[in-house]
């Protein structure tokens, strides 16, 4: 959810919210409840738990920018599903990768892709277990199990 898009909608009739400190106060007041609902923020590269300071920073940047389209590294609000959260936490370990703190699903998939390309020498996946075994990797059984 983009607070910038919400702010743009609130600027339209019948609301007519304008660029001033009261707009930031109103947004903060309305959005304060999401702090207790396990929301996170993400900017496309990483995701972290949403806290009051980050929410205030997001609101301030949106109001200062007056909802313009040219915001760089816009922080959006999201909630990772339980499955996505579990994937981010456990998938790197299955491939022998150190888990990144504050990673996104996309960044974990990128890590896995890089690891597989490194291990496989770009061979087809059905040949990968044999390549890994021939390299003497101690995780060969786990990799083969994950690929089956």
Give the phi and the psi of residue 63 in degrees, each rounded to 5.
-70, -40
**Would the pTM count as exceeding 0.85?**
no
Residue 112 near residue 97 (C-beta atoms within 8 A) = yes
Q: Would you state the pLDDT for residue 55?
A: 94
Neighbours of 141 (CB within 10 A): 12
How confident is the model at residue 99, as a pLDDT?
85
Mean pLDDT by 10 residues, the chain (148 residues): 88 84 90 88 82 93 81 84 87 85 84 82 72 74 72
Nearest to 125 by CA among 143, 111, 103, 107: 143
DSSP characters for 79-91? ---HHHHHHHHHH
C-alpha to C-alpha distance for 117 and 128, rounded to whole angstroms:
10
pLDDT of residue 77: 92
* Domain boundaries of the chain, sorted by first residue: 3-78, 82-147
- The 3-state DSSP class for residue 118 equals helix
């Amino acid at each position: 959810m983009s607070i910038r898009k919400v702010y743009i909608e609130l600027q339209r009739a019948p609301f007519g919210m304008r660029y001033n400190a009261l707009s930031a106060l109103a947004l903060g007041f309305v959005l304060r409840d999401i702090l207790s609902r396990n929301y996170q923020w993400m900017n496309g590269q990483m995701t972290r738990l949403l806290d009051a300071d980050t929410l205030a920073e997001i609101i301030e940047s949106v109001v200062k920018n007056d909802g313009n389209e040219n915001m760089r590294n816009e922080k959006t609000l999201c909630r990772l599903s339980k499955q996505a959260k579990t994937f981010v936490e456990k998938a790197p370990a299955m491939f022998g990768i150190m888990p990144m703190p504050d990673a996104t699903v996309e960044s974990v998939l990128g890590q896995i892709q890089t690891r597989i390309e490194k291990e496989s020498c770009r061979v087809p996946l059905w040949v990968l277990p044999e390549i890994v075994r021939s390299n003497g990797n101690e995780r060969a059984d786990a990799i083969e199990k994950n690929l089956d």
